Every structure is written in structure tokens, then in C-alpha cells.
Copies of this chain bind each other. A is one copy, B any other.
Amino acid sequence: EDVVEAQEAVDHFKGEPMRHPALIRRADKPFNGETPPSLLTEKFHTPNDVFYVRNHLPVPQVDAKTYRLEIDGINLTETTFSLQDIKKFPKVSISATIQCGGNRRTEMGKDKVVAGLGWTGGAIGNAKWTGARLVDVLRSAGFKPEAYKHAKQLHVKFDGLDTDQSGECYGASVPLSYLLDGNFDAILAYEMNDKPIPIDHGFPVRIVLPGIVGARSVKWLSRVSISEEESQSPWQQRDYKVFSPSVSLETVDFSAAPPIMDTPVTSYICSHNNGDKVKKGPVKLQGYAFSGGGRGIVRVEISLDKGKTWNVARISDTANLESTKNWSWVLWEANVNIQANAEIWVKAVDSGYNQQPEDFNNIWNYRGLLSTAYHKIYLEAR
């Protein structure tokens, strides 16, 4: 208990930035806040100040002038880059959705409790990310994709400047194979929606790994390394893995599942909440749909009769800029005619024709991750 008191005496969170009052707080230290879902459909690119914030550790204070990024590892020459160095590489923009692995967790936890922050459907956002291509910067440190062709088991590790009280930093990694895919747009981003990246989102530089669960897009990036091992951080090794419904925290074998990378197809109704009262007659539903791995959304479907019949929703355009893959969500809308109390179901189909599961029972996992079943809300007609 002496230790606890000593820790409390130093407030590791005293330098935290201001947050927009619209963000719904899910935790204070570290700060975690989600966007009210109704705001998400207002703009294709979520505004910076209401973009959901997922911090695992205190926000670090970083001086752009002294900031340095280190690159090292297998087949690379150890090289250090200032922010100005990074800005000298060709400036590239992608439109990409970042989603927390726990988005929509509260739905999975309704029937059987799950551990984790109580996100509804707002732990997701879509932004324009601008910066240097990771592969361009790596090439200047000697990276040659051909040199790794048969290296099945290599990883690209990312370290953040945010640290825990023992000095361990936030960390994540992805299989090196991602960087061997010429369609993958990993960006060392220094702008978010045409502004310098806000402090909460990784100022001055974060890695943006599109199509991959948000936890790998490390903020306040300090180091990129090609390694024979994955990041050994708890977020890589334990927290962002999905186990069988039969597994509990007591029985889990962490090595039995891979860390989450590409996320599965999901969809959400943002315009209405479960239990809302609506006037009888036409109702306009709005929401988002997203799939990881650069898979686009082929269609979004709505059912008012628990799946007996489905109608296809209208999809807004996606703005993919230079990408060959679909890194962004789609926003959708559907006009329905409500004449009596109704349960509304939404589901999406991605370009790999992946479908969402119908409910949460069979995908339940004790951490409440990848909670991607149909979104179902009940509307009361008045």
C-alpha cells in the first residue's frame, strides 16, 4: 500500500490534453472516450475533436523539434529520423477507418458479462491520414521486400512513447507479410484530416495500419523494427486476442489464438438507439458499415421481420484517394415505414462475401472483442 500511495503522489496524467465535451467518457486515467454514434454519420471523415480516443497509458508530452523515430532490425541499417526528415518523403494521404477491438462490446456483454471498457458503437472513426509511406522510409534504411520473400515468421514492431510506471512502452507488431503486399498503405502519419495529428491521436507521428484493429496503429511512435519475434507487450500477447466461448480468464491459454489483425465485417445503426420511440410512418435509418483487410462493403441490408425479408440500404460514396484497397467505412441510409413496434436488424456483406454472425452467443469471448453480430434495435411506434 505504500507503493500505491507513492504512485498516487505523482499524477502521471497531469499533462493530458483537453477533450471535447461531446466525447462519452468510458475511463478517465488513462482517458478513453467514444463518439456519440449519432455524430458518426454526419461526416464521412470524423472530425478530429470528436474522434474516439483509446489510450492505454498516460499521454506523453512530445516536442516536435526533438522528436526522433528510430528504424532498425533484420536487413536494415539503424537510422534515426526527425519529423522534418519524415516530411521529406513523398506526402501521401489515405482515407482509413480505425476501430477499437472492443467497439460494440456492450452488446456482447448483455447476456453474459465481458471484461473491458463499456463501448457502444462509437469506438470507431474514419479520417484522412497524411504522411510518409512506411515502406518509403524503411527503404531509406535498406529495406528491400525481395530480401524477405521466404521469411514467413518475421514481424514489424512498433513502439510508442507512452510508458507505464515501470518504464515499459506501449507496443504492437504486425506480420512482415503486410509490407510485402504492394496494396497495403501503412502511413507514418503526421496529419489527421489535414491538421497536425492531435495530441490524443499520436502527435507528432503515429503509424496508421489500415484495415487492422486500432491497437496496432501505435501513437507517439518512437521506433519501428523488423524482428524475429512479435511485440511482447501485453496488448499483443494477451489483451487483443479472441478465444472460444468455452474459454474464461481462468482457463485461457494465451498462445492458442493469434493477435487480432484485420477485423471482420460489422455494421451499426447510428440514427436511433435501442428503445427509441418514433412516430408511426416513414423513419430514416442511418449508420456505418466497415470491414478490415481493405475489403469494401458490397451491401448493407435491413430487416424489419427478424430476417424473413431483407432490403438493401443506400450506400454513400467512399473516398479512397490513391488506395487500391477499401480502407474506409461506408455510411448508409434506409427509409423504412414503421407502423407498429419493430425490431430492426442491420447486417453488411463485404467484398470477400463475409457475413456477420446473427447474434453474440456463439462468438462470445470473455474480453468482449470483435463484437460484430447483426446490430438489432427495438423501436416503439407512437
Q: A residues within 8 Å of B by Cβ?
A: 145, 149-150, 152, 175, 177, 180-183, 242, 244-246, 256-258, 260-265, 292-293, 298-299, 301, 303, 307, 309-312, 320, 322-325, 347, 349, 351-359, 361-363, 370, 372
Contact = CB atoms under 8 A, between A and B. Distances in A.
B261 A310 contact: no
Contact of A182 (B145, B352, B372): B145
A163 to B, nearest CB: 29
A312 B312 CA distance: 36
B362 A307 contact: yes
Nearest to A257: B298
Contacts of A307: 361-362
A89 to B, nearest CB: 15
A261 B246 CA distance: 33
State the main secondary structure of chain A at its contact with B.
loop
A353 B181 contact: no
Contacts of A347: 362
Contacts of A245: 301, 309-310
A21 to B, nearest CB: 34
A180 B324 contact: yes
Contact of A246 (B309, B323, B349): B309
Contacts of A354: 264-265, 354
A134 to B, nearest CB: 15
Given A181-B183, A353-B370, A355-B372, 11 more contacts: A152-B323, A177-B325, A182-B182, A242-B353, A244-B301, A245-B301, A246-B310, A256-B299, A265-B354, A355-B357, A358-B362
Contacts of A372: 355
Given A257-B299, A351-B261, A352-B262, A183 B180 contact: yes
Nearest to A363: B355
Contacts of A311: 246
B362 A152 contact: no
A362 B263 CA distance: 21
In this complex, the member of A150, A263, A301, A358 whose beta carbon has the largest number of chain B beta carbons within 10 angstroms is A358
27 contacts: A149-B182, A152-B320, A180-B181, A180-B182, A180-B183, A181-B181, A242-B353, A244-B312, A245-B309, A245-B310, A246-B301, A246-B309, A246-B312, A256-B299, A261-B352, A263-B352, A264-B353, A293-B293, A347-B362, A353-B370, A354-B354, A355-B362, A355-B372, A356-B357, A357-B357, A358-B358, A358-B362
A21 B97 CA distance: 52
Contacts of A265: 354
A320 B299 CA distance: 34
